[in-house]
Amino acid sequence: MNELRKAYHEDLETARNQVVRMAAMVVEKVARATSVLLDGDLEGAEYIIKGDAELDARAVETEEHCIQILALQAPVAGELRQVLAILKMVSDIERSGDLAANLCKIARRIYGHHTLDPKMRGLIERMGEQAQALYRAAIDAFVDSDAAKAAAVDDMDAYLDALQKQFIQSMFEAHNAGRLELPTAIELAMAARFFERIGDHAVHIAERVRFFVTGWLPDHRPSDRPTVDPAAVIEPVEGS
């Protein structure tokens, strides 16, 4: 291997490692944000909100690194697809970090204004766990360059979508019964949506893996992806 090719592979490995580190940060942020939302830990909320700047800085650094690879190494075919995929992944990871910070901002706004019943608390906990599981699965597929693993992430997301719908249903029931004030219900609906969006970003990361490994491009028209009946949600799908 000549020096130019060696330098290219070292640069690419640096970018890949950055993606893995940033994704790990998101998993940790989602776990802590879920706890903050459940426990009203304002100190923890402030820590995550302020810490979002570090993830943003890493994202910019990785994007600049990828642009440098494109400019100096001019990769082609599968190598080009991988660099382009990493650029897209960085954006998804950075936005996921923003969503985790937004969960903490919701926790601050509703602090002292609600008491969640056990069912709603359980659903929040499971949404947080499933969002983390989606991220871990997507990054495992990335590390292994495994298109089959990446394809399985979409099925895992169906479970998170069902959890979100069940949470919204439970939230309306609590509001109608007078156990939850409308402003708090709206904030909690946003929180459930943020968990669902974090899962969507994990799906996008998995799609980037399939793209750079096989050249496959996602079709984002209405699909026949499997759905989960919210009323039947009991345990996570296999792989979570």
Q: What is the pLDDT of residues 150-204, one digit of tens each?
A: 999 998 999 999 999 999 999 888 888 888 888 889 999 999 999 999 999 999 9
Q: Give DSSP secondary structure letters for 80-107.
A: HHHHHHHHHHHHHHHHHHHHHHHHHHHH
DSSP label at 235?
S
- Give the alpha-carbon dihedral of 167, 135, 141, 12, to 10 degrees: 150
pLDDT of residue 151: 93
pLDDT of residue 111: 78
Model confidence, pTM: 0.86
Sign of CA dihedral 120, 121, 124, 129: negative
**138 assigned to some structural domain:** yes
pLDDT of residue 236: 45
**171 assigned to some structural domain:** yes
Type and span of the H or E element at 127: helix 118-144
**71 assigned to some structural domain:** yes
**237 assigned to some structural domain:** no
pLDDT of residue 146: 95
Residues of the chain with pLDDT below 70 are: 1, 3-5, 75, 113-114, 219-240
- The CATH number covering residue 137 comes to 1.20.58.220
**99 assigned to some structural domain:** yes
pLDDT of residue 117: 83
**30 assigned to some structural domain:** yes
**239 assigned to some structural domain:** no
* Segments forming the whole domain that contains residue 87: 3-232
Count of domains observed in the chain: 1
**162 assigned to some structural domain:** yes
pLDDT of residue 229: 52
Rounded-to-integer distance, Cα 54 and Cα 97, Å:
10
